[in-house]
Structure formats: structure tokens, C-alpha cells
Amino acid sequence: GFTTDTKSREENKKTLENLHSLSVDIAKIRRLKEWVLLQDVAYVKEIAGILQEMGADETTVANIIERCPEAILHTPAEINSQRALWQIVCQNEKQLIKLIEQFPESFFTTEYQQNQKANILFFQELGLRNNIITRFLTSAPNIFYNPVEKNKNVIETLQRSYLNLGGSEANMKIWILKLLSQNPFILLNTSTAIQENLEFLQKNDFTDQEVLQLLSKLKGFIFQLNSTTMQKSILFSKNMFKCSDQELKQLVLKCPALLYYSVPVLEERLEGLLKEGISIAQIRETPMVLELTTQIVQYRIKKLSALGYDIKSGNLESLNGTKKDFEVTYGKIQSKKERPIFNPVAPLHIED
């Protein structure tokens, strides 16, 4: 890391001149990270040179430095080895420079090069495609800071769990890759936490088959929970729906959100639905509405009632799903309402 406590408290004239010659907005850096300008040594020209060599034009270079001023404090050697590292998974330098412009902080964090490299190679071995690995490098960079052993450990725990739950060898690889690409942050968990969460579900009478089903539905988020919060959510749902353990289990399989959201979130959403005149019985029929925020629910109910569709007497299915799903449902209800009973344009056969 760099020292943020600078002795001189004087901006480095040479750094300022070099930044100025690259048309960098120095005021912006002063505002965000003035300490960078106070360092005795900076490699402004060298770093700009490397970026230009990779195909960045002047605006792009300035843009990168303004967004991530500490880029200029890295040695050219560090940046060149980072460049070589990311090239393992980038198609070409053009793609690489685009990524650096979008995610400069991820690229200019160079303290973990050994770990980064080992993890990139491990992910390739696992069968993750390069475009997924570059997505991880930019948007989940901290998973590369782990020693590769830790990541291997988590993956092995997942593989073992999958097989122990009755998953097949043949499907395991696809399952792991899908899980990782949906949620790379599972690698930040410990193997113990993963074990504990699976045991919690088994103790709550979910069959192995059902646990597998939940794992796939929850996109690995299950591993970021803990048994205490899951226990509380299950109790809350049980009281809310006044149902047996067996019935609750079916509801959770239909709507894993009952396990995933904390009690305050579930409470707030439930209240929002009841305020709209929706009954607990309706929610029990379609528990997936609890996956939606109160604002989304209100918005959708407003749109539907404008069409004369009464949600209180109807089925909540029409509220469900992604934004796109809802638009489709809405469109169907709308066209049903607008379709006239007879076609006024059709010729009428009248006997002469």
C-alpha cells in the first residue's frame, strides 16, 4: 500500500506538470485523493505510456487517471506484470483497455499478483470460460486476493456436498460452474459455514433432493446466510401462514425467499401486501410475491387496477416475476379488456 501520511504536505511539482501535459483534471484528483499528489515518487509518464501502448487515446488515459489516481504510484514493472496477467483471459489489448477504463480500481490493485495468477489458472482448470473470469476480475476482484488453496477448499466442499446430497458426478461440474458464475462471492465464505447451512436444512427435514433443489434456486445465496437468521425466518413464516412444518417446507421450496430474507424484510413486505387488501390466504397460494419490494407491488397493483383488474378477488400470479414477466402479463390483461365482443369491420350477411 501507499502511505497516506505524507511528510512534505507539499504537492509534487513534477507530478502536476506531467498530469497537466496529459490534460488530466487535477482539481478532480485534489478533491478525491489529494494524497496521491503529495507523494515524492510518481510514474505518470510511464503509466500513461503503457496505457497508450495498449491502444488508449489521450482522453481514455486522462479518464483512467482521474478515476483511479493511485494508478500513477505503481511502478511500470508492476503494471506490466498486471497487464500480462489479465491478458491470460482477455481476447486482446483492445478488450483489456476497455476493461481498465470501466474498472480501473480492480486493475490497479496489484498487491496480490501471485494469488491472482494462481486463481485465474485454477478457474480455467475448473472449466470457467475466460469471459466469466474477466467478469470476476472486474466486478468481484476480492475473490482473487484469497490464496488459491482457500478457493479450492470452498469448491471441494461444494462438490462433496453435491455428491453427498445425491447429485451425480456428471451434473456436478455444470452445477458448480453455474453456481459460481451466478454468485462468485460464495468463495468468500468458509467451508465450515457451508457445511453448517446444509446441516441446518437437513435438520429441518428437507430431503437431500430438496436441499439440492434449494441450492440451485438460491444461486448460492444460501451460503451467505447463517442458521440463526434462517431459523428466525422459518419461525416467522410458520406463524404468518399458520401451517404445519410439512406445509411450510413446500412453501419454502416454492419460494426460497422465505428462508433468504430476514424477518424485518419479510414483515415489511407482508405489511405492504395486507395494506393493499391482499389476504394471507392469497399470499400462501403465491408466496413468490414476497420476493418483490413493497414499492414494486404497489406500482403493479396500481397499473392493474387502472385496467379494472381487482387484485383482491383475483390471483396474485399476475403480480409476480421480473419486470419483463410483468409487462407480458399486463399486456395480456390489457388486450383481453380491449378486444370487442363482435368485430364491427366484418361484413354482415343480410338477406336481401
What's domain 226-337's architecture? Alpha Horseshoe (1.25)
Q: Assess contact for 72 and 15: CB atoms under 8 A.
A: yes
Can you read off the three cell numbers belonging to residue 295? 414499492
Q: How far is CA 187 from CA 110, 121, 224, 232, in A?
A: 20, 16, 10, 25
Q: What pLDDT does 1 receive?
A: 55
Number of Cβ within 10 Å of residue 60's Cβ equals: 17
Q: What is the pLDDT of residue 216?
A: 77
For 170-211, what is each residue's pLDDT tens digit? 899 999 999 899 889 989 988 888 888 889 999 988 999 999
pLDDT value for 346? 53
Enumerate the H helices of the chain as residue ranges. 13-21, 26-37, 44-53, 58-67, 76-87, 93-102, 104-107, 113-126, 130-139, 148-164, 169-182, 191-203, 208-217, 227-241, 245-254, 257-260, 263-275, 280-285, 294-306, 323-338
- pLDDT tens, position by position, for the chain (352 residues)? 555 555 557 999 999 999 999 999 999 999 999 999 999 999 999 999 999 999 999 999 999 999 999 999 999 999 999 999 999 999 999 999 999 999 999 999 999 999 999 999 999 999 999 999 999 999 999 999 999 999 999 999 999 999 999 999 989 999 999 989 988 998 998 888 888 888 999 998 899 999 988 887 777 777 778 888 899 999 999 999 999 989 999 999 988 889 889 999 999 999 999 999 899 999 999 898 998 999 999 999 998 888 888 888 777 888 888 888 888 888 888 888 776 555 555 555 555 4
For residue 298, give Cα distances in angstroms to 206, 311, 326.
34, 11, 13
CATH 1.25.70.10 residue window(s) in the chain: 226-337
Global pTM reads: 0.76
CA angle 128/142/6 to nearest 5° reads 145
